[in-house]
Structure 1
Amino acid sequence: MTKPQIGVQMMMLKQKVEEEGIYTVLQKLNDLGYHAVEVSQIEMTPHNISEMQRAIKDFGMNIAAMSCGVEDISAEQKYPGDTLQLDFDKIVADCKAVDCTILRIGMLPMNYMGSKERTLEFAKICDNYAQRLKEEGIDLYYHAHNIEFVRYDDQFMLDIMRDNTSALGFELDVHWIWRAGLNPIDVIPNYANRIRAIHLKDFRVGEIDMDQYPGEGHEKLYFMLHMITQFAELGAGTLPLKEIIEVGLESGSEFFFVEQDELYGADPYDCLITSREHLLTLGYKNWF
């Protein structure tokens, strides 16, 4: 079995990449003790590819996963990045340039939401791309949020995608599973041997400054209730992370990417330090 590795989902560092450059960000992650990344919401320009190659050479950074879209959002609105529909050859070349064998779709396109029929259509499209990518030595994974736990004919949308694909894998996110009202410990085994990566982020009830919410009475309460659940640094929330990670490992996950969608004014490097320290207390020093 491949040794598991803890890394960073770089979506939370996209502003830092714009300010400092991707090489400097990867160098700082290396200094913090993280040696693997999943690249997301960062444009794959020739310069960024070259800088990632430099980081691989200089300090052994593992570009473990990269991201793409499936197709443009609509005829009028382009997907913000490369898509399998329009940029297949470029995406493959970029992955090979940094020795990356995991490609992940970050989110369900809006035009495929809303019915079992659309789900099946999207699953077929993804599986076709997954089969083509396997011929190039690249595994395609679909990253799920909470919306994929809507039920069609008493079956979760994500389960429908799983049961109607063979080459496509699934990247599970423990926070979004929890936010869907489910326990990741129960969900992850249902995708055993279809996962290579899991997103780690905690879930907390945040401190609320009521002055920032408009209205009075029930209107103010409505805003508060919809904003009180937060993304948290690992160990700063309520998720049973040790048990989740062990179930993920048993189910075949190789990578565990630390991620935090919202930082609430905190510096992302500080958040990553907090999460790493918690993972060390859980006994995962050898996974870094």
Structure 2
Amino acid sequence: MPVLGLQLMMLKDRINEKGMFEVLRQVHDLDITAVEVSQVTMTDELIDDLVRGKEELGVETAAMSASIAPGGNGFALETEFDRAVDACRRTGSRYLRIGMMPFSAMVSKEACEAWAAEVEPYAARLAEQGVTLCYHNHHVDLIRFDGERIFDIVRRVAPSLLFEVDLHWVQRGGMAPLDMLKAYTGACKLIHVKDFRIAPLPAEVYAKFEAKELEGKDFYDVFLSLAQFAEVGQGNMNWPELLPAAEAAGAEYFLIEQDDTYGRDPIDCIRESREYLRSIGY
């Protein structure tokens, strides 16, 4: 069974305030045994805390973030390749992940191919070091150029680059997650377990609509925003079918994630997600 973990993007503010080790202690108390590191600066101190978290708490590092060029919070492989590999060895992480391709790579088939071709040598070099580089999708990765999805272009041009599948974004992109997992079996190593709900239309918004105080595009923008990220088990995703399918597709980690908690304490949301996953056998 894949290891259950947490995408630490949800707790990035606490990491910046209290340090990584104290956050790992909270993660451990939630009965979560792995973390993925994202949207925090990969200082030497933070890496030391990840090592300590594994040794003292048993919380392993499932993956850390990377990019090709400098400018993000993760390891920039152009300039920090050796440091990234060393951090993987020290923490025991077997995965690095790219959170998104540059927006400039999404505008055409040729741009996407050029980006994937740039990534492939780094993914191949990392594989030689025992580290797998994965690409994290969003809904835009379902864009088709000449009938070929961005997913397909990436697999064709960068075969050494595997996938971190965000099932929420697959759903939002209009592809059935079960179909996606089947189509890319063998490439799906990390899975973001993120639910998808449609919130009720606020009564006050409808009242303004009825009173003609909110109409046209302004009302429609509110209508579209009813699609929300949700605690696992509180939305419409079919997790009892999806998680076994993800395991069959080759997943090694299931990572709880919720991009927006809409004012709720992230710890409460994580606890709720964890309790649901326990209730269905994880």
TM bucket by the smaller chain? over 0.9
Identity among equivalent positions (%) equals: 37
Aligned equivalents of 2:141, 2:278: Cα separation in 1: 32
Give the Å deviation of 1:208.
4.5
**Runs of 4+ with >4 A deviation:** 208-211
Task: Name the structure 2 match of 1:191.
Answer: 184
The number of residues matched between the two structures is 277
Shift of 1:178: 0.5
Q: For 1:1-288, what aligned pairs fall within 5 Å after superposition?
A: 3-72=1-70, 78-209=71-202, 210=204, 216-284=214-282
Which residue identity does 1:58 align to in structure 2? Answer: E
Give the C-alpha shift of residue 266 in structure 1: 0.8
- The one-letter code of the counterpart of 1:26 is L
**Aligned AA (1:273):** R
C-alpha change, 1:79 and 1:25, in structure 2 (3 Å) is closer
**TM score, norm. by length of structure 1:** 0.92
Summarize deviations over 1:222-246 as a string: whole Å, max 9, x none.
2212311000001110011111111
| CA distance 1:174–1:145, change in 2 (3 Å) | same
Shift of 1:131: 0.5
Offset at residue 30 of structure 1 (A)? 0.4
Amino acid at match of 2:2: P
For residues 56 and 283 of structure 1, the distance between their equivalents in structure 2, rounded to whole angstroms, comes to 24
Q: SS of 1:27's equivalent?
A: helix
Aligned residue type for 2:50:
M
SS at match of 1:269: helix
For the residue of structure 1 that corresponds to 2:216, the secondary structure is helix
Letter of the aligned partner of 1:191 in structure 2? Y
Query: Structure 2: which 5+ residue stretches go unaligned?
Result: none
Q: 1:81 to 1:64 in 2, by over 3 A?
A: closer
- Where does residue 75 of structure 1 map in the other structure? none
Amino acid at match of 2:251: S
Alpha-carbon separation, structure 2, partners of 1:134 and 1:160: 20
TM-score, scaled to structure 2: 0.93
Distance, in Å, in 2 between the alignment partners of 1:170 and 1:126 is: 13
Question: Contact conserved, 2:201 with 2:223, CA < 8 A, in 1?
Answer: no
Alpha-carbon offset, residue 81 of structure 1: 4.0
**Structure 1 CA distance for aligned equivalents of residues 89 and 116 of structure 2:** 25
Q: What SS does structure 1 have at the residue aligned with 2:63? A: strand
Secondary structure of 1:239's match?
A: coil
Q: Aligned with 1:253: secondary structure? A: coil
1:165 Cα deviation after fit: 2.4
Question: C-alpha distance in 2, partners of 1:89/1:13?
Answer: 27
Distance in 2 (alpha carbons) for counterparts of 1:41 and 1:114 = 25
Asked if the contact 2:65–2:96 (Cα under 8 Å) also holds between the matched residues in 1, the reply is yes
State the alpha-carbon separation in 2 of the partners of residues 258 and 33 from structure 1.
12
| Runs of at least 5 residues in structure 1 that lack an aligned partner in the other structure | 73-77
